[in-house]
Every structure is written in C-alpha cells, then in structure tokens.
Amino acid sequence: MDNRWSPYGFATYYESAKRRHPRESGDPVAPSASNLLDSRLRGNDNRRTTRVRHHRSFIVHVAVLAIALAAAGSSSEAHAQSTGLVAFCNELLVEAADARDACIATAQAILSAQPLLGIAIAGGNPTLGTAGSPGLRLGVLPRVSAGLRLTVVPIELPDILVEQLPSGGEAEWAELGVTVPAVGGEVSIGVFDGLQIAPGMGGIGGLSLLGSASVLPFDVFDTDGFDESDIAFGIGARVNLLEESFYVPGVSLSLMRRSLSEVRFGDICPSGIITGGSSGDTLESGTCAGSGDAGEFTFDLTNWSTRLVASKRFLGAGATLGLGRDGYDSTVGFGFRAPPPAGSGPAVAFRVRDIDVGSSRWTVFGNLSFTFLIASIAAEAGWVQGDSPIGEFSDFQSNFDPGDGSWYGGVGARISL
C-alpha cells in the first residue's frame, strides 16, 4: 500500500510539496517583515513624489498665470499713449509759431522719463536680497524685516533743457543724460507661515505685507532739470510659492502699489508767461520775455509692480533672480516754447495741462547678498525695457533712442527679526 494515501503519509507528502513548490501548492507565502516595510516605504515615496510633482506643476502654472495677468492688465505701451500728447503739437497755433518740434520732443521726454522714474522708486526686488519672509517667528510675534536702500537709474531724454531751439524743419535734438537717485525704506511683515507638504517643501501660501517709502533727492545729487519731489509711499503683499530650504530655493510672487504726488522737470519761462490765448480747455499760449528751456513737464506717478522672485542662500551668501512687470499712470502737464524771434522780442510759449498718460515695462534683476545673524547687506542690478519712439520724433535727427532700455542698480542693508 502506498503510504501517501495514509493520513500520516498524505500530510507528510503535502508539507514536502509545499517546500518544493511554494507557489503551486495553493498556500500563499507569508511576506517577511522586511518585505512589508519595503513595500510601505515605496508606497509612501510614490505618494510623496506625486504630491511634489503636482505642487511644482501648480507653482509653474500660478507663476505663468500671474505674469500673464500682469502683462494683460497693465497700462498700454507708451507709443499707444502718445496720441493724446502729440495731438496738441498739431494745433494750428502751435504750428504757426514754429513750436511743433519742441512740443514733440517734450512729449517724447515725458514718455521716456515716466517708466524710469517709476523704476527708481520701485527698484527690482521688493525686499532686497531675498524672495521670502526673512527672520524667525518668536512665539506669536510675526516675522519682521526692515531695511534701507539706495537705487540709481540713469535716464536719457531728448535735450529739452536747451535754450537755443532748432527751427525751420531741421530739428536735431541731442541726448541728455541725467542720473536719478532714490533713497528709500522698506518693511516686510509675515502674517502667515504657509503650509508644508513634505520635509523641505514648506511655506506654501505664506503671506507677508509689504510697505515702502522713497524720496528722490535731486538737489543732493545735483540732478539737472529736476526739482525736489515729494515722498513716494507704497503698500502691497507677497505670497510664498515655496519657502527656501536646504534642498530648494525660495520662490514668491508680490504685488505693490506706489504713488508719487509730483515730479517737475525744466522751466520754459522762469520769469513767467504772459497769457495771450487758449485753444480748448487744456492748451494755453502766451509770451515769455526771458530765456528758458525748450520744454518742461510735471506729473504725478502711480506704479503697480508685479514681481516673481527666486532666491537661494549658502553659508550666508545669497543670490536672487527676478522678473517683473510695471504699469505706470500719470496726469501730465507740459509746456514748450517756439524758437526765439529774429529780433529781441518775446518768445511764444505754450502750456498743456491734465493729460492722462500710461505705460508699462518689463524688468529683470538680480541680487547678491550676505547675511550674518540678523543683518544682511545686498547689491542689486537690473534692466528695464525701452520702447519705440513716437512716430513724429523718429523723423528728427537725434542720437537719442528710447528703445535702448536702461540699466539700474542699488545697494542696501536689512535687519530681520
């Protein structure tokens, strides 16, 4: 008799078959503890990797959308705004006095100066040297950062400060270069630290309030043509897309609004204009017995600035890169005068008031910084785009090209608590 068919023999044969063919025996093999742990870790890693990928994709989409909205929602380009200014240059009174060329040159000076004065009060990075909310949270106290900065912007304009005007349809406008300084203070207050989705991936959605105050000290730096201006105030907010850690850079998106009440450049008749007539509600004409500049302008300035910034530090040294879009709006008044008459009689002068002008520009910038404990020093360099000249100015002979763009730079110090 075959022992396999006895109760004892069958049990012995079955156990032997399981050892020889564990998967064919129909009895599942119990996984070891190490296999279970490896499986769970792989599952957690896969889920964490998926969350990180989704978050990175979210950051990219938010950044692209924000910049696109800033570009679409900002004011139209300067050449689209030139029509309202140049319209006064084609008035019959202006053309009859041979003042059209001075009018066009002054209009071009306004459209070139507006965005560069705006970048002077805004700078590049809203918090110099970092993309996020610096400092440590102490209990219920928020993170606070305060600093001072000096920004310098070289501005190039048609030389409307010239007294001897070109005439007879042979306008040759030289380029005037002036350096505009801006001294300002800035503050950042963290109100929400944001969320953490993984180790080294936190600060998402962190919110900080931003504030600034700037002054343009033209008299201190002996800037030709400009009168002393008022203080420019700014307020805004910054959202952290990612907080800086050992593994990743900090990335943030900010929006600020700054306003400057008045800027003045040039004076067509320091001795005063004797009013002689008007054309409509905004154009006035008269005579000026003394000498004066070819053109003048005055305007207020509102600047909306959007900034996408990334920064990374290593052993106290940090580097920052940023991309920005600025929109500028102003209510402008400007004046210009005709070439002096052949004799010694008074010159004809014109003034225009209350014209709305808007423009927008892209800017790129970088910062280098060094932090020791709670103090930081930083330097900034940036570039702001130019724009094509208004059509009438392009007909003139001039070495001034408004499409060249402009570099700017700055230095500053900051304390973070």
Percentage of the chain beyond pLDDT 70 is: 74
Mean pLDDT value of segment 328-334? 96
Q: What is the pLDDT of residue 65?
A: 47
- Out of 87-96, 138-147, 167-176, pick the least confident: 167-176
Beta strands in 231-273 (DSSP E): 232-242, 250-265
pLDDT digits (tens, 9 = 90+) for 361-413: 999 999 999 999 889 999 999 999 998 888 778 777 678 888 889 999 999 99
Single out the residue of 370, 364, 363, 383 nearest to residue 411, CA to CA. Answer: 370
Residue 31: the pLDDT is: 52
pLDDT score of 340: 78
* 120 has pLDDT over 70: yes
- Domains located in the chain, CATH noted: 74-416 (2.40.128)
Quick one: tokens of 48? 């964490």
> Mean pLDDT lowest for which of 244-248, 264-268, 379-383?
244-248
End-to-end alpha carbon distance in the chain: 92
For residues 147 and 130, is the Cβ–Cβ distance under 8 A? no
Q: Which residues contact 266 (CB under 8 A, 6 or more apart)?
A: 160, 161, 225, 293, 294, 295, 296, 297, 335
Helices and strands, number each (H, E), in the chain: 5, 14
Say which residue the tokens 């969320």 belong to.
195
Which bin fits 55, alpha (ψ -120 to 50), beta or left (φ > 0)?
Answer: alpha
Whole-model pTM? 0.78
pLDDT at 121 over 50: yes
More confidently predicted of 13 and 320? 320
Q: Which of 120-129, 194-203, 335-344 has the highest mean pLDDT?
A: 120-129
Task: Count other Cβ atoms within 10 Å, centred on residue 320.
Answer: 25
Evaluate if residue 156 carries a pLDDT over 60: yes
pLDDT at position 143: 85
